[in-house]
Structure 1
């Protein structure tokens, strides 16, 4: 079976952003289905789906730290427009899911693998029963860590995956790298209860001019406004435990990369200072040395939030994502 891609891409435009969000995106969002499942330790984990657009193929969006599926409405619209059903979840401790600390703005985790276990439960209980022929994954930042570990542990479940600026390493000053993890462990032991890592604070809306995330002012302001309208979504800095757990999980992604059989497209922003871009090379090399399929594509000039960037970066990113999924569809078909 040969899959015929559309003759052109019709992604949402910054110049029409307000009209698009107030019109077709808001209309699509009205048709969402939301739910909760019980994750590890019976915590409630929230999820959303937009279905009925394709009975054969679905995309699972795995978002990053501090994010919520509420932030991804424009992306969901673009994916549905390309003919996919869409599923997403809010990781434990953030978004609409149960928090893990008394301070609800603290980004905390007990065991990083709990994220992976929750994703497996989501797949098994919500997505798999739908009977899709093709399961694609689009995972961003910390979601890329979770997605990588998920595919290494369950190599037969995902047919094609795109990792957007995955956290395969955290961008830490060179002199801090050797001591960051042990320092976080010591700080955690000194804390009576989960608390912020050194230098981290509760949520605050960083001005656009100083933000390291993206260069689209209208998209950036929209998500900041969303968090003011829905303050329950706000998450600030990570806990000391999250820091050393996150560093260990990122390292594990590279160690376990040879176990991943899913074809991977790894998208990297050249001006990303949130994650360690050098770790992407190590991840892809580890997959390729095991005769796995991993393609690294650098978006020159783009920052960390590739899916929320200005159109000149975002549109090539979305086109690369859809093209990668089409290739997998040909194989599955």
Structure 2
């Protein structure tokens, strides 16, 4: 890895209690311990969703139906959180996170990106994620923001929470549409993709072949079809109860079987991430960048480059953590959410 000198980095080692945040969680927010997780999700969280979360949909510019979820506040919300999920994600992966934001007093909006969950697809196979261009994602987001979110929240502070692919979509959106968000929390954002042992030259040749032979809707090499078999040990989670809660939803609902990418998604992703980093200096809102130190999917080199280009970024690395920080150990989650809510309080003060 290259040597970096510009970005200010906080490295968190929860196993050794090093650099843990002094921030406190808001009143009424208690991070669910692993030992209590299963019971909480089928009782308290389920009742919260049934009582406070509504679902909706809108028709995107090209005719696809896009599903979203909304948890409104009854009285004087502190602000609004718009949640963008990652590759193969869906609403059910973020039930816990959304509940925390709502309990802290925020309106919550969650969009299922095209090709995911109950949103429309551009390919027949139920387990393949496909997109023609990341501009399709950002156009969906812009329509969502201008037609649904902004008319509802008015002048409330609006903060993006985006994970992985959602972080790439979100950063691209911030570059394209300044002024729509007041701040952003980027959790393991996909700014540079790990390619394993495949060289960058071979990736470029593969992308050229996809375009030349018009193979966009075929499966990208190396993908596995959905088989319904859990594999926690090789997952991006560090909490088995959280992994199984999500996996069981996938098992029960074919809308959540996405498990591999199309050539088109791969082409669009590898073409988009360099563009995001090239234009990162256009982003001038406060950013909280949370990075996994043991990420098998995303290369942290892209996070350093992003942080070096955006002087308003707080950069935190969780040493030893896997890609899905929101599915981390009890110790990681306590620190992770404490930093997030401390950041949200700063945003409130800046906007007051």
TM-score bracket for this pair, using the shorter chain length: over 0.9
Partner of 2:115: 93
- Structure 1 match to 2:45: 25
Which residue pairs with 1:12 in the alignment? Answer: 32
Aligned match of 1:72? 94
Pick from 329, 343, 346 the counterpart of residue 310 of structure 1: 329
- Paired with 1:276 and 1:192, the residues of 2 have a C-alpha distance of 26
Count of residues paired in the alignment? 326
Question: What 5-or-longer segments of structure 2 have no aligned partner?
Answer: 1-23
Confirm or deny that 1:258 pairs with 2:272: no
Equivalent position of 1:49 in the other structure: 70
Q: Is the 8 A contact 2:31 2:333 kept in 1?
A: no
Measured after TM superposition, the shift of residue 203 of structure 1 is 2.2
1:107 paired residue number: 129
* 1:180 Cα deviation from its structure 2 partner: 1.0
Confirm or deny: 8 A CA contact 1:269 1:302 kept in the other structure: yes
Q: TM-score, normalised by structure 2?
A: 0.88
The answer to which of 248-257 and 134-143 deviates more is: 248-257
- Greater RCO structure (CA 8 Å; 6+ sep): 2
> Does structure 1 residue 294 correspond to structure 2 residue 313?
yes
Q: Which runs of 4+ in 1 moved over 4 A?
A: none
* CA drift at 1:211: 1.8
Who is 2:201 aligned against? 178
Gaps of 5+ in 1: none
Match of 1:34 in 2: 55
Other-structure match for 1:128 = 150
Write the deviation string for residues 184-238 of structure 1: whole angstroms up to 9, x where unpaired: 3413544667110111132234644432401111100110101111122210211
Contact 1:169/1:279 (8 A) holds in 2: yes
Whether the 8 Å contact between 1:184 and 1:241 is mirrored in structure 2 is: no
TM-score, scaled to structure 1: 0.93
1:167-316 aligned at under 5 Å gives the runs 167-173=190-196, 175-187=198-210, 189-190=212-213, 194-205=217-228, 207-288=230-311, 293-316=312-335
Cα deviation for residue 8 of structure 1 reads: 7.8
- 1:137 aligns with 160
